[in-house]
Amino acid sequence: MVENRPLANILTHAVLILGVFFLCFPVWMALVASTHGPEAMARAPIPLWFGDQGLANYREILSGGVAHAGGVPVGKMMLNSLLMALGITFGKIAVSLLAAFAIVYFRFPFRMGFFWMIFVTLMLPVEVRILPTYDVMVKLGMLNTWSGLIVPLIASATATFLFRQFFLTIPDELVEAARIDRAGPMRFFWDILLPLSRTNIAAIFIILFIYGWNQYLWPLIITNDEDLYTVVMGISRMVNAGESRPVWHLIMATSVLAMLPPVLVVLAMQRLFVKGLVETEK
C-alpha cells in the first residue's frame, strides 16, 4: 500500500467479505440443511440456522445409507474413497519418483522417447477417451476391482515433471560424493534423493490426495458393485433418484462428509498445499 485512502480500505474489506460470503454461504447452507429433518425440507424457505436432527441424520447415513439410492452406508463409501485416494496418491508418487530418477540420473537409449511418452499423457485426460478406456478395462477383466480403480490413474505426467525439475536443482557434487563412497544408484536414491525430496513429496501428496478423493468419472464407469462405491460418485445416485424425490437433508449431510477430508487437508496444511499447487503447474 503506497498511500492511505480510507475509502479504498473500506472497499477492500467489502470486496473480501463479499467474496468470503459467496464462497462460504453454499457450504453453510449445506451444513444447516444437514441438521434438519425431512419436514423442514418440504417447504420454502428452508431454515438458515441449525436444527436438532443433525446427530440423527449423520448416524442414519453413516450406518444405513439412503434407502432409495441402494442404501450403501456412507461410512463404507468414505472408506472406499479413502482407500482409492491413498492408493492413487502413493502409486503416483512412487511411479513418478522412479521415472524422474531414471530420466535425470541415467543416460540410456530412448530416454527422451520415454520422456515424451509421459508428456503426451497430459493431452489424454480420461474424459476424452471414455469408451475405449472402458473397453480396455473390460478386456483386461479389471471392472469392479480395486486395481481397476487405482492402477490406471497412477501414471502422472505432472508429478514426474515436478520431481524431475526438483532433481535438476540438486547439486552434482552429491552424486560425485556418493560415487566416491561407492554408493550404487539405488543407495543414492534412498539415502540422499528421497530425504532431500521430503517437502516436495509432502506438497504433491496433498494435491494428489485431493485429486484422488474427488475422482468421479472413473469410479462411475469402472464400478457397478456397491462394495466399491466412492462417496463423491455415490452422491449423484441420491440426487438423481428417478421416481422418488431427493431427500435433501441426507444428501447435504453426505455432501458435508464427502468434502470434509480434502478440505481439512487443505486447511491443516495450507503452506504445503499452496506450494504443491503452484509448483505442479509450472
Q: Which of 216, 225, 227, 244 binds another protein (CB under 8 A)?
A: 216
Nearer to another protein, 198 or 271 (CB): 271
Q: Which helix (H) or strand (E) holds 140?
A: none
Q: In sequence order, which residues have a C-beta less than 8 Å from that of residue 168 and are 6 or more positions away? A: 104
Query: 201's torsion region: left (phi>0), alpha (psi -120 to 50) or beta?
Result: alpha
Nearer to another protein, 55 or 168 (CB): 168
Does position 13 interact with another protein (CB under 8 A)? The reply is yes
Give the x-and-dash track for 149-178 against another protein (CB under 8 A). --xx-xxx---x-------x---x--xx--
Does position 277 interact with another protein (CB under 8 A)? The reply is yes
What secondary structure letter does DSSP report for 112? H
Q: Which 26-55 positions form the footprint of another protein (CB under 8 A)? A: 26-27, 29-30, 33, 41-46, 48
| Three cell numbers, residue 223 | 464400478
Q: Which of 63, 124, 181, 199 binds another protein (CB under 8 A)?
A: 124
Does position 19 interact with another protein (CB under 8 A)? The reply is yes
Q: Which helix (H) or strand (E) holds 16?
A: helix 6-33
Does position 69 interact with another protein (CB under 8 A)? The reply is no
Does position 233 interact with another protein (CB under 8 A)? The reply is yes
Q: Which helix (H) or strand (E) holds 2?
A: none
Q: Which 90-119 positions form the footprint of another protein (CB under 8 A)? A: 94-96, 98-99, 101-108, 111, 114, 117-118
69 phi/psi in degrees, rounded to 5? -100, 30
Whether the CB-CB separation of 83 and 119 falls below 8 Å is answered with: no
Q: How many CA atoms lie within 13 A of 157 on its CB side?
A: 14
Q: What's the rounded Cα separation, in Å, for the pair 265 and 242?
A: 34
Nearer to another protein, 70 or 125 (CB): 125
Q: Which 175-194 positions form the footprint of another protein (CB under 8 A)? A: 175-176, 179, 184-186, 188
Nearer to another protein, 114 or 146 (CB): 114
Does position 243 interact with another protein (CB under 8 A)? The reply is no
Does position 268 interact with another protein (CB under 8 A)? The reply is no
Q: What's the rounded Cα separation, in Å, for the pair 219 and 228?
A: 8
| Three cell numbers, residue 219 | 469410479
Q: Which of 12, 63, 147, 224 binds another protein (CB under 8 A)?
A: 12
Length in residues, the chain: 282
Instruction: Compute the least distance from the CB of residue 110 to another protein, in Å.
Output: 9
